[in-house]
Amino acid sequence: MILVVEPIERMVRLLGMLMKDPLGYANTKEYRHFMQEEEDFAEHSMWGKEVLDGMETKFLMNTLLRIGSLMKVGFGSAGVEIIRDNLDRGRKKDVWS
């Protein structure tokens, strides 16, 4: 639960933040709270920070953050808006299917 399920749930939350605001997600209160939870989890876990940082789920989380940064640089604000609209349409289509 601690090593697989919870990290995957956090990744899903991060993806949700990226979908809502690909350009400004890092400046939101939700993201700051998310990052504080990450630090608290590492401090209060029976696993060491080194162990948690070396897990595949942590590598995947960092990859998601890098993809968000690359989207900002590569597509700019107009491109990010197009991607956001497509993600929203895809999500709505899945809900109605």
Q: With H, G, I as helix, E, B as strand and everything else as coil, classify residue 84.
A: helix
* Alpha-carbon span 97 to 80, nearest angstrom: 26
76: left (phi over 0), alpha (psi -120 to 50) or beta: left
Judge whether residue 96 has pLDDT over 70.
Answer: no
Q: What is the pLDDT of residues 35-83, one digit of tens each?
A: 998 888 878 877 777 777 788 888 988 998 898 888 778 877 777 778 7
Q: How far is CA 88 from CA 8, 18, 33, 47, 51, in A?
A: 21, 12, 24, 37, 36
Predicted pLDDT at 9: 92
> Is pTM beyond 0.75 here?
no
Give residue 95's pLDDT band: very low, low, confident or very high (50, 70, 90).
low
Q: What is the pLDDT of residues 14-48, one digit of tens each?
A: 988 887 877 788 889 999 999 998 888 878 877 77
